[in-house]
Structure 1
Amino acid sequence: MLCERIALVGMMGTGKSTIARHLSARLGVPCLDLDDMIETRIGTKIPLYFKDCGEAAFRDVEQTHLESVTRSDFKGVLSTGGGIVNRKENRDLLSREWYCIHLVTDTHELVQRVLKDSTMERPMLRGADDVEQRLNQLWVERRDFYAKVSRLEIQTSFKSPAQIVEEILHVTSFSQ
């Protein structure tokens, strides 16, 4: 199967950015990280933008960038932010224009990944006394949205990036 536009969606810490790089390399197509694009455009890190401007302003920028990439001639793998599905407009665009793959990781491993990655501040976890409880809350809020936009769900718990990419390629038969 030839798929020109693949978007990875899922909770923070599921490996979207890492898997996007590995998958694009295997397929020989470009890779874009929406969060990296946004940071370049706004001139600061997303956590600082969240703090200074708020979530609504960030979601506006995020939506604008998703629309821009979708309107462009980009063909490849797109890594999205965990909250991309919060807006109906984004869900509609992802469903209509992208082959979305939902990366899922069990909550216990998500907590371990998020806490281990001290290089990255997670704005949606700011102020959370209980990270696991907050991740569960976000999951409950978003899981139906992820399911709605996705054509495929891949479990990433306790798998290497190479194993995850192999599973995606096997299940989808994407042209390599």
Structure 2
Amino acid sequence: MNGKKMPTHIVLIGFMGTGKSTVGQLLAQRLGYAVVDMDAEIERREGRLIRDIFAEEGEGAFRKAESDTLSEILSRSEVQIIATGGGAVLAEQNREAMLSNGFVIALTADTADIIQRVGNDPARPLLQGNAADRVHKLLLERKHAYDFAHLTLNTTGLTAQQVADKIWDSWRSRG
């Protein structure tokens, strides 16, 4: 094979609560591609819930499982819509793999919207304690973590369908 291979996957990145899973489902329906929710895939591969991985082995073990899972998913030859976890971008190897193998779209949202969407979700181990404070702190820590994306879309005030439509338009015209 000569030359660099064309990116094949649509990779959705962004902070928790920005709509990655919902938009991924809508894109998959529209495009006829499989959708892979990274968090669900990690839980399937590990045989336990993400919150249990955090509780039993810590964030480091989860991040390793996340990187391993992402690498395997991105190596698949069929086009997929991949909804990553919010922290999948923290490892440089993950960012490089996403860019090499996909069209990367960062979904963002206003802080108040994120807190409203995820603030009471017990399945989010990084938000234990005061969820609003944790969201503010994590957003500050990850302020530029999603800057490498090919496209950034703010989902605030948009329906998931509107976001999916914007991604579809960009995907179609990227040629």
Q: 1:101 aligns with which of 82, 99, 105?
A: 105
Where does residue 43 of structure 1 map in the other structure? 47
Match of 2:124 in 1: 122
Query: How many residues are aligned here?
Result: 169
Task: Tell me which residue corresponds to 2:147.
Answer: 147
Separation of aligned partners in 1, 2:126 and 2:78:
29
Alignment partners' CA distance in 2, 1:151 and 1:136: 25
Q: Normalization by structure 2: what TM-score?
A: 0.89
Q: CA offset at residue 73 of structure 1?
A: 1.5
Cα distance change, pair 74–172 in 1 and its aligned pair in 2 (3 A): closer
How much does 1:36 deviate? 0.7
Task: Classify 1:173/1:72 alpha carbon distance in 2 versus 1 (closer, same or farther; 3 Å).
Answer: closer
Distance in 2 of aligned mates of 1:5 and 1:172 = 10
**Residues 8-157 of structure 1 correspond to what in structure 2 (within 5 A)?**
8-115=12-119, 118=121, 120-127=122-129, 129=130, 131-148=131-148, 150-157=149-156
* Pairwise CA distance, 1:3: 6.4
User: Normalized per residue, which structure has more helix?
Assistant: 1
Query: What is the alpha-carbon distance in structure 2 between the residues aligned to residue 170 and residue 42 of structure 1?
Result: 36
Runs of 4 or more consecutive aligned structure 1 residues displaced over 3 Å after TM superposition: none
Structure 1 gap ranges (5+): none
Partner of 1:168: 167
SS class of match (1:32): strand
Residue aligned with 2:143, SS: helix
Unaligned runs of 5+ in 2: 1-5
> How high is the sequence identity, in percent, across the aligned residues?
33
Quick one: which amino acid aligns to residue 168 of structure 2? L
Q: How far off its partner does 1:93 sit?
A: 0.9
